[in-house]
Amino acid sequence: MRVGPETPIQRLAAGEPLPDWVTRLDRTAFGSAWKAPAYHEALWLVPERAFARWTLIPATGEAELLRIAVDPAHRGSGLGRTLLEACQRDLAGAGLIHLFLEVRVSNAAAIQLYRVCGWKPCGRRSRYYPDGEDAALYQRGDYSPDPAVLE
Ligand SMILES: CC(C)(COP(=O)(O)OP(=O)(O)OC[C@H]1O[C@@H](n2cnc3c(N)ncnc32)[C@H](O)[C@@H]1OP(=O)(O)O)[C@@H](O)C(=O)NCCC(=O)NCCS
């Protein structure tokens, strides 16, 4: 599939059934498959090729990218970037502008994707993953917590 403005991107909201291809791609990319989106989650899909799953916190204008995956046969052609930028536009339109994620420090492809989409490193969690690998933390959008909540 050619990646461009015509790339079909759909949003799957809480309560909608998860397509089988998402489950298959979830297993291929991460070794495990998550269930249909919960009430506080949303998925953006490029049918049969890619998905991105988010947790949404509308009250605070925050969202966390939980998983993004492109079918191995379609990686490296700009699809991940097209999908992530579409998510970012939709989220911003809904007032969700403080974005967060964590990623394995060894995941060069994902880290490059996040960087080209405007994300900045903001921390690291030591031995975060079950195999002992560290997680790098990234954020997008200026996030400065209300000092009152820190007291
Ligand atoms: C991470 C992933 C979603 C990227 O999707 P993709 O469609 O291949 O990425 P794109 O083609 O849009 O590339 C986006 C940027 O990343 C770069 N990139 C892609 N693959 C790369 C690789 N293997 N190594 C280094 N950079 C890479 C591209 O060059 C591009 O940067 P550029 O614009 O500076 O050239 C995909 O590799 C994937 O599904 N990985 C497995 C699941 C995963 O690890 N998800 C992230 C953790 S939740």
Q: For the domain bounded by 10-150, which CATH number is listed?
A: 3.40.630.30
- Which residues does 15 contact at the CB level (< 8 Å), separation at least 6? 36, 37, 39
Taking CA 66 as the corner, what is the angle to CA 16 and CA 91, rounded to the nearest 5 degrees?
Answer: 70
pLDDT for 148? 73
Rounded to whole angstroms, what are the CA distances from 149 to 97, 99, 144, 145? 19, 19, 11, 7
pLDDT for 4? 61
pLDDT digits (tens, 9 = 90+) for 68-100: 999 999 999 999 999 999 999 999 999 999 999
Ligand 1 mean position, distance from CA 92 (Å): 22
Ligand 1 mean position, distance from CA 150 (Å): 36
For the question of residue 114 being annotated catalytic, the response is yes
Domain regions of the chain by residue span: 10-150
User: In 10 A of CB 86, how many CB atoms?
Assistant: 17
- 1: pLDDT strictly greater than 80: no
For the question of residue 128 being annotated catalytic, the response is no
Rounded to whole angstroms, the Cα distance separating 55 from 64 reads 5
Query: Residue 28: which pLDDT band, with cuts at 50, 70 and 90?
Result: very high
